[in-house]
Structure 1
């Protein structure tokens, strides 16, 4: 199987389907349409001509960047595609982010070690505390 990484925004359907298959939360088509349009940078991994992985950078492009939507279809996991996605997203950030920019991500339980190789550190109390709010 031939894999290829492309700098492009996924379609709404591919975005939703890859996220769900990879175990990430569901996003409505309306939310995905708006969100994908306003991202800073996106990549898709193709297996032949089929999208099998995604990754995105969102933020304001100056002070704050957030890595989101790192997702690979289960049949294509454990083949280095997550690493390929992260390498490209980090290259974008290092080429784009200005000094003092803050880069963040929310790692699923069990994945922090994966992100440490790219320079990320866990935000642990009492110095920092990760927080979230989900709108349902």
Structure 2
């Protein structure tokens, strides 16, 4: 059975588990409970009901959008699921976001190679991404 991509928001526990499995940082239960319902766009990839991939876009929906949580469980990496997730999210951006909206992301490792296929460009040295993590 092929994995199925749906336009829905993952559950709190499965979201946190997939982030960890994919090597992303662990988010708090409280943070996920607040943040997930506020997604501007969200896709899930499931195989036999299990969440094996996901991606979301957050933001104000008009001026700024940010691609987050692109994650695929290790057993399914390298099979094109990341590209399917990004394509679904970018289809939503092109269908719903107004002209001149800025869409950003932070690419881990070599992920920038995937994102470049969707028109994203590295901004350094003209600009530098920055992050503040509350602890």
* CA distance in structure 2 between the aligned counterparts of 1:105 and 1:77, rounded to whole angstroms: 20
Q: Over aligned residue pairs, what C-alpha RMSD do you find?
A: 0.8
- Aligned ranges for residues 70-85 of structure 1 at < 5 Å? 70-85=70-85
> How big is each residue's C-alpha offset from its partner over 1:24-57, in whole Å with a ceiling of 9 and x where there is no partner?
0010000000010111111100112211111001
Task: Report what 1:134 is aligned to.
Answer: 133
* CA distance in structure 1 between the aligned counterparts of 2:6 and 2:65, rounded to whole angstroms: 20
Unaligned runs of 5+ in 1: none
Provide the TM-score with structure 2 as the length reference. Answer: 0.97
* CA distance in structure 1 between the aligned counterparts of 2:94 and 2:69, rounded to whole angstroms: 19
Unaligned runs of 5+ in 2: none
Alignment partner of 1:27 is 2:32: no
Task: Report what 2:50 is aligned to.
Answer: 50
* CA distance in structure 1 between the aligned counterparts of 2:71 and 2:18, rounded to whole angstroms: 7
* CA distance in structure 1 between the aligned counterparts of 2:134 and 2:106, rounded to whole angstroms: 17
* CA distance in structure 1 between the aligned counterparts of 2:91 and 2:74, rounded to whole angstroms: 25
* CA distance in structure 2 between the aligned counterparts of 1:111 and 1:20, rounded to whole angstroms: 17
Provide the TM-score with structure 1 as the length reference. Answer: 0.97
* CA distance in structure 2 between the aligned counterparts of 1:94 and 1:15, rounded to whole angstroms: 25
* CA distance in structure 2 between the aligned counterparts of 1:123 and 1:6, rounded to whole angstroms: 31
* CA distance in structure 2 between the aligned counterparts of 1:111 and 1:82, rounded to whole angstroms: 10
SS at match of 2:58: strand
Task: Report what 2:7 is aligned to.
Answer: 7
Give the number of equivalent residue pairs: 135
Task: Report what 1:115 is aligned to.
Answer: 115
**Which aligned segments of 4 or more residues in structure 1 are displaced greater than 6 angstroms?**
none
SS at match of 1:51: strand
